[in-house]
Chains A and B, each alone.
Chain A
């Protein structure tokens, strides 16, 4: 029973409860950096770290947090983890830190993190909340990584900065510009929904 619950907690955010393509939450902070795969990986790792650990911490304190100032406390805890991500990046990955610029700080307002804290961590044990946070982060990460993969490949012909497509390839500059992300995300959601809809009607 307990094992089944853990598994369910972990699987749901990857598929039918995916925060990005089902709930369309939290894309703000990361969409802007999806024009490069490397930046997206670092950014999504940061989001996973924050979601998992802030859910965990909030769950530990869940019986102590006064309901009145709940949101403030949650924001404070989330912001603390984001600052940790920021400081660690600045110290150990200065080049990427520079490229991400203000977007690391914007993880704070990522709706997924707050959403998971409100909907799950406040009512569940720390261990389960950690898994839920991690899985939500993961469900978020892989969608953005797929988008980043196509944006970088089609936009510059490279992956992880390494030239993949030959000189015959004409870069689709539109992919690395702002509209590219909107179109990619829409196409991705479309494909996923079509597949789900077909499966459900069977």
Chain B
């Protein structure tokens, strides 16, 4: 495989074959609670994708230019989460000042994002897998889009499902998890499509 194409391959792998939600179960909390309607899940999906791609780059720089040279890698958990929290806060403030419509659409989702495990997860995976800056960016973007895709599909299915008769014990979380399991099965079908080797 061509070296230059590696980031692109990681990008597609993160969306399809190794979807962060369906294979690593990251970001489940907001996935289960916000996937009831298509509209809200689109808002959250966009916010997650944006924050994920950006914080991955920020954390990569912080890790490689600040933590590594000083031998402080063991502090990465604290530092990453603070970078994410601070970034979300700043974005919230900017959006609030710049556009009211955008704030009305995305504002409520931003606090949810800080505790979204997927965002921190992507940063931690990037460090462990020793990705370069470019690859990290594509990995973050791909993971965000993958998460977006999964929650959008789930919201679509759940809207149809609202009319269906589900056994009382399975209502709510139970049926959502079963659908997620089937989606995970379906996404496994993509494996082999992308060659990272």
Do the two chains touch directly in the complex (Cβ atoms below 8 Å apart)?
yes
Binding site for B on A (CB under 8 A): 21, 24-29, 31-32, 71-72, 75-76, 79-80, 82-83, 86-87, 101-102, 105-106, 108-111, 114, 174, 177-183, 185-186, 189-194, 197
**Shortest Cβ gap from A114 to chain B (Å):** 6
- CB–CB A109/B24 < 8 A: no
Which residues 78-118 of B sit at the A interface, judged by CB distance below 8 A?
Answer: 78, 80-82, 85, 114-118
Determine the distance from Cα of A102 to Cα of B24 in the docked complex, in whole angstroms: 11
Determine the distance from Cα of A82 to Cα of B124 in the docked complex, in whole angstroms: 14
- CB–CB B25/A31 < 8 A: yes
Chain A residues with CB below 8 A from B124, complex form: 102, 105-106
- CB–CB B29/A108 < 8 A: no
Q: Is B74 an interface residue (CB 8 A)?
A: yes
Determine the distance from Cα of A124 to Cα of B23 in the docked complex, in whole angstroms: 38
- CB–CB B174/A190 < 8 A: yes
The bracket for how many chain B residues form the interface is 35 or more
- CB–CB B174/A111 < 8 A: no
Determine the distance from Cα of A186 to Cα of B178 in the docked complex, in whole angstroms: 6
Which residues 20-52 of B sit at the A interface, judged by CB distance below 8 A?
Answer: 22-29, 32-33
Closest 4 CB pairs of A and B: A182-B181, A102-B124, A193-B169, A186-B177
* CB contact under 8 A between A28 and B117, given known A178-B188, A182-B177, A189-B174: yes
* Given A102-B121, A102-B125, 10 further pairs, Cβ under 8 A: A28-B27, A75-B85, A87-B74, A109-B119, A111-B29, A179-B184, A190-B167, A190-B170, A191-B169, A193-B168
Determine the distance from Cα of A108 to Cα of B82 in the docked complex, in whole angstroms: 11
Digit string of B69-82 for contact with A (CB within 8 Å is 1, else 0)? 00000111110111
Please tell me which one of the listed residues A72, A101, A174, A180 contacts residue B128 in the complex, with CB atoms under 8 A apart. A101
Chain B residues with CB below 8 A from A185, complex form: 177
Determine the distance from Cα of A83 to Cα of B178 in the docked complex, in whole angstroms: 34
Determine the distance from Cα of A178 to Cα of B182 in the docked complex, in whole angstroms: 10
- CB–CB B28/A27 < 8 A: yes
- CB–CB B173/A189 < 8 A: yes
Binding site for A on B (CB under 8 A): 22-29, 32-33, 74-78, 80-82, 85, 114-121, 124-125, 127-128, 167-170, 173-175, 177-178, 180-182, 184-185, 188
Determine the distance from Cα of A189 to Cα of B138 in the docked complex, in whole angstroms: 36
- CB–CB B184/A182 < 8 A: yes
Determine the distance from Cα of A95 to Cα of B12 in the docked complex, in whole angstroms: 31
Chain B residues with CB below 8 A from A181, complex form: 25, 181
- CB–CB A177/B188 < 8 A: yes
Chain A residues with CB below 8 A from B116, complex form: 109
* CB contact under 8 A between A86 and B177, given known A26-B29, A79-B81, A108-B81: no
Determine the distance from Cα of A190 to Cα of B115 in the docked complex, in whole angstroms: 27
Determine the distance from Cα of A182 to Cα of B185 in the docked complex, in whole angstroms: 10
- CB–CB A110/B117 < 8 A: yes
Greatest chain A CB density within 10 A among B23, B29, B114, B119 is at: B29
Chain A residues with CB below 8 A from B118, complex form: 28
- Closest partner residue, chain B, to A101 (CB atom): B128
- Closest partner residue, chain B, to A192 (CB atom): B169
